[in-house]
Amino acid sequence: MRQKIRFEKNIKNNMLTILESSEVDPGVVMPLLEEDYSLEEAIKASKEGLRSFSQLIRTRGFFPTSDLCEKLFEMTKDFFLNEAEENIIVEYDDVEAFPKEEKFQLEDEDVELDKILEEDGDTKEDEMKEIDSEDDTPKFTPEDTSEHEN
């Protein structure tokens, strides 16, 4: 899911507003959240580091994952230092949270399936007849009191 997190400074009121919106369908963006914070506290938390920043922005309504907090922190460092900059948009796709898969390749030492099939696939006719010679039909005796009798 693609998300856009917008940080807006209101220097006059000493407020920071975080607006979160998400792409619910291709081309359809839906607003999800609007949270207000003290601008002074946000600037202070940003200067103190990732942990303070994460603790400040995480609330009941807005609780970004650790990797998203890290990205928000990195992308907004300069934003908080620059008083003239009034807003910034951070785009995030939750696919970024998943580790990249390594492409699987057989190594020379790996056993190939064809070799295994050649070795184990050679069954003699007599062995097959011996396996199938037993009668698999269930047999019941009058003494059998199991519930599957009839």
pTM: 0.63
More confident residue, 27 or 133: 27
pLDDT greater than 80 at residue 129? no
Mean pLDDT of 81-88: 92
pLDDT greater than 90 at residue 77? yes
- Cα distance between residue 150 and residue 146, in whole Å: 9
Sheet with 28-38, side-by-side order of all strands: 28-38, 15-25, 2-10, 87-93
Nearest to 39 by CA among 87, 101, 1: 87
pLDDT greater than 70 at residue 84? yes
Report pLDDT digits (tens) over 85-127. 999 999 998 777 676 666 666 565 556 666 666 655 555 665 6
pLDDT greater than 60 at residue 68? yes
Dihedral sign of CA atoms 65, 68, 73, 76 in order: negative
**Residue type present at position 47:** K
pLDDT greater than 90 at residue 14? yes
Q: Which residues pair with 19 in a beta bridge?
A: 6, 34
- Cα distance between residue 44 and residue 81, in whole Å: 10
Residue 48: per-residue pLDDT: 96
